[in-house]
Structure 1
Amino acid sequence: MSKFKSLELFTGAGGLAMGCDRAGFQHQALVERDKHSCNTIRENQRRGMRLVSDWYLHQMDVADFDYSDVRGEIDLLAGGPPCQPFSIGGNHHGYLDKRDMFPEFFRAVRELNPQAFLIENVRGLVRRNFINYFQYILLQLNYPEVQPKADESWADHLVRLEQYQHSHTNDELGYRVTWQLLNAADYGVPQKRERVFIVGLRSDLQAKWSFPEPTHTEEALIWHKWITGEYWERHGIAKLYRPEMPTKIRDRYQRKGASLIGSITSPWLTVRDAIADLPPPENSILAAEIPNHIYIPGARSYPGHTGSPWDEPAKTLKAGVHGVPGGENMLAFPDGQVRYFTVREAARLQTFPDDYYFPSTWGESMRQIGNAVPVNLAYIIATSIRTHLQEVQSSLKIETAV
């Protein structure tokens, strides 16, 4: 499979970059200013981790990156601008927050003119408070050549972009942009994680792209657990030790009647699916053989933060920058006890490969993992984009030949 060229901003620990790499994109540069995240990538390069071995990492502020140093056309520009300005758990300052780096992504689009771009951000970006700014983001991505004037506010620039959109029918000047709020669990990630994804393809490519259809469903998990029992059998859990079917699910099936929902899609993956083969971290002898699988004491439940049950996808892993340290990054046992996920368990819930090592402390590693894009979800989206770019290139070759 031939590689397409890509460039990634705000790389973090590399979840999105890994997914894009696996999908067939070759990173010409990755930009990340956080020294701990950069140390994680470099440590894995030092260890010979194949997936990251040829990454060209630039530890610097994106605002200082010179795109004129990038050679050749970039097929995909990817990145997840810092989410804290729009996170539901953050301070909600949005575009007033100095960490709002969307303007830097706009600059990258203008200067690189990539065939496609991919952006990931928190679902708070589309909340009511920020809806006008979100529309501004989409329009600026639609028409990156319509730059803001000196000292022009984003609101005034939005008005000008709207006027431009109404007066220009030639869509070859910009990008065809689409966005969607995706739940990672719907794509085989063992975690309920809703994030906004924005994808744009250059208008001159005439490519009609849409997000991949979900491959996994909650309905199928319900079917495998409570109707056929396949889920419990797969994990070797005898009927005597299986929990009872929840009343709300029993009532639901009595109303609807049994249906073959389980045969259509794959079931959501659960915490048990992801980590059951790992030895308990409390067993220091066995756990010591697994990198990053170290028991962390002190976990406790508190209102709104009760951990993730074994037999559901994990709750959204948090970066740990707000609330009680650890937040939801806990495993909840049926008897009500909780313990922190180890770094290796959290990495699995984000679908990082087992040979990807996190050299920092538990808290710093969890921050990097909680901020990351699940590798498998990034792979699915990036593969769809690459497939479309291949189809465009093939059609252009045919037209040229004719």
Structure 2
Amino acid sequence: MNSIELFTGAGGLALGTHQAGFRHRGLVEWDEDACDTLRNNASANSVPGIQHWRIHHTDIRLLSFDMFGNGDVDLVAGGAPCQPFSLGGKHRAQDDARNMFPEFVRAVRELQPRAFILENVKGLLRASFQNYFEYIKLHLTYPTITKKRTEEWPEHRTRLEDVHTRGRFQGVKYNVVTQLLNSANYGVPQQRERVFIVGFRADTGLEWHFPEPTHSEDALIWDKQVTGEYWKRHGVRQPASSKAFALSGVRMRDLENGQPIPTKPWVTIRDAIADMPEPRVDRDAKGFANHKLMPGAKVYPGHTGSPLDMPSKTLKAGVHGVPGGENMISFDDGSVRYLTVREAARVQTFPDSWRFEGAWSEVMRQLGNAVPVGLAAVVARSVASKLKSSDGKEPSPTDEQRSAPAQ
């Protein structure tokens, strides 16, 4: 199955969709350092099968999607720049020049893939952005109903609502679902909440839902506080003064009734980096690229680090401070240190073979903006499985649908 990756960055979503079996016909990214990261890993075939990746270093607003063919793309995926909607940004949303949602819609309109995956920050769900979020979903549902030249987005939304409530539309339509996912609930050693918007072209007739969580905090608490398996696994003595966490009331009732916790424990920072040597300031550790200690970590308001025995807090890209400022490990003795680039990459579930290009602050920015590879793969595998189940069964959009006039 063929795919196109937009706003590729360091490649988190691209690697996840690649692992799910999609073959990328093109990866689009405007940042030079991120493009270097992508090109160098493709040239080195850092992950089997990516040596033929074609990276397009360009402003997506200048790109014609005709180059990728018509009707040959099964999936369009991308994480549109999140700064306009980030909780740590300036909150300009649709008025921010970096708002690239319209370009993602344009890609869907011109390529008309069988499915799309769009990812963004939790801040998109803020009450102040709610109207624009609903507009995004409607525009993705009816991508061929374009905004008129003199029209503002609220007016366009009104036209889209009219079409939607009328219930009769002959052009290309997508069935769109959204959900806020916590990466930690899917085996990623990071509590990173992200909004996913997934759509299937309506003529495929496919039914789909988001994958159920596989990991939980309850299971981690059980391993730590009840069985002690977590500490045994790491050969660490269970702290006598460890904080007591309360399981949810529902989970306590299940346990009292003899029901096992159905999920695996959250993956912690200690789990993620257990086999890595302590980093040094002067050089990378042998066998681990990008594993060098950056000195100078310190605690200050809003930047307290992540406890070693919990999933990391959300890695930050530095929009509201020095890149990496919150990307620290907090130890039981009160000390902190920065995650190395390689450790941060593991927190984002990038493979160890994946090398990052650029200065430390730039690389941490790439990582802070990335979609966790593991979470991307979970969603993409579910989408891929559904598309494969229908291969050869559903029609492509008819010429009449493709050319349906804007309304």
Q: Which runs of 5+ in 2 are unaligned?
A: 396-407
Mapped partners of 1:261, 1:41: distance in 2: 46
Task: Tell me if the contact between 1:171 and 1:203 (Cα under 8 Å) persists in the aligned partners.
Answer: no
Q: Deviations over 1:170-197 (max 9, x none)?
A: 5873000000000000000000000000
Q: CA shift at 1:325, angstroms?
A: 4.5
Q: TM-score, normalised by structure 2?
A: 0.91
Of Structure 1 and Structure 2, which has the larger fraction of its residues in helix?
A: 1
State the match for 1:28 in structure 2: 25
Mapped partners of 1:203, 1:25: distance in 2: 21
Task: Tell me if the contact between 1:141 and 1:175 (Cα under 8 Å) persists in the aligned partners.
Answer: yes
Give me the CA root mean square deviation: 2.1
Task: Tell me if the contact between 2:279 and 2:291 (Cα under 8 Å) persists in the aligned partners.
Answer: yes
Mapped partners of 2:290, 2:281: distance in 1: 14
Q: Does the C-alpha gap of structure 1 residues 206 and 284 become closer, same or farther in structure 2, counting only changes over 3 Å?
A: same
State the match for 1:191 in structure 2: 190
Amino acid at match of 1:294: K
Mapped partners of 2:176, 2:207: distance in 1: 10
Q: Which of 371, 374, 377 is matched with 2:375 structurally? A: 377
State the match for 1:390 in structure 2: 388
Mapped partners of 1:215, 1:388: distance in 2: 19
SS in 1 for 2:390: helix
Task: Tell me if the contact between 1:288 and 1:294 (Cα under 8 Å) persists in the aligned partners.
Answer: no
Please show how residues 76-87 of structure 1 align to structure 2 within 5 Å: 76-87=75-86
Mapped partners of 1:251, 1:74: distance in 2: 44
Q: Does the C-alpha gap of structure 1 residues 261 and 121 become closer, same or farther in structure 2, counting only changes over 3 Å?
A: farther
Residue 305 (structure 2) pairs with residue 307 (structure 1): yes
Q: Deviations over 1:17-36 (max 9, x none)?
A: 00101100000111101001
Mapped partners of 2:164, 2:226: distance in 1: 52
SS in 2 for 1:173: coil
Mapped partners of 1:315, 1:219: distance in 2: 17
Task: Tell me if the contact between 2:284 and 2:291 (Cα under 8 Å) persists in the aligned partners.
Answer: no
Please show how residues 1-400 of structure 1 align to structure 2 within 5 Å: 4-49=1-46, 50-71=48-69, 72-170=71-169, 173-239=172-238, 242-249=239-246, 258-259=255-256, 263-282=261-280, 287-393=285-391, 395-396=393-394
Amino acid at match of 1:176: N
Q: Deviations over 1:307-330 (max 9, x none)?
A: 011110000000122224422100
Q: CA shift at 1:167, angstroms?
A: 1.4
Mapped partners of 2:198, 2:158: distance in 1: 23
SS in 1 for 2:26: strand
SS in 1 for 2:85: coil
Amino acid at match of 2:366: Q
Mapped partners of 1:340, 1:91: distance in 2: 26
Task: Tell me if the contact between 1:310 and 1:332 (Cα under 8 Å) persists in the aligned partners.
Answer: yes
Q: Does the C-alpha gap of structure 1 residues 251 and 360 become closer, same or farther in structure 2, counting only changes over 3 Å?
A: closer
Task: Tell me if the contact between 1:176 and 1:203 (Cα under 8 Å) persists in the aligned partners.
Answer: yes
Task: Tell me if the contact between 2:16 and 2:377 (Cα under 8 Å) persists in the aligned partners.
Answer: yes
Mapped partners of 1:396, 1:14: distance in 2: 31
Amino acid at match of 2:13: L
SS in 2 for 1:269: coil
Task: Tell me if the contact between 2:289 and 2:355 (Cα under 8 Å) persists in the aligned partners.
Answer: yes
State the match for 1:400 in structure 2: none
Task: Tell me if the contact between 2:323 and 2:364 (Cα under 8 Å) persists in the aligned partners.
Answer: no
Q: TM-score, normalised by structure 1?
A: 0.93
Mapped partners of 2:250, 2:76: distance in 1: 46
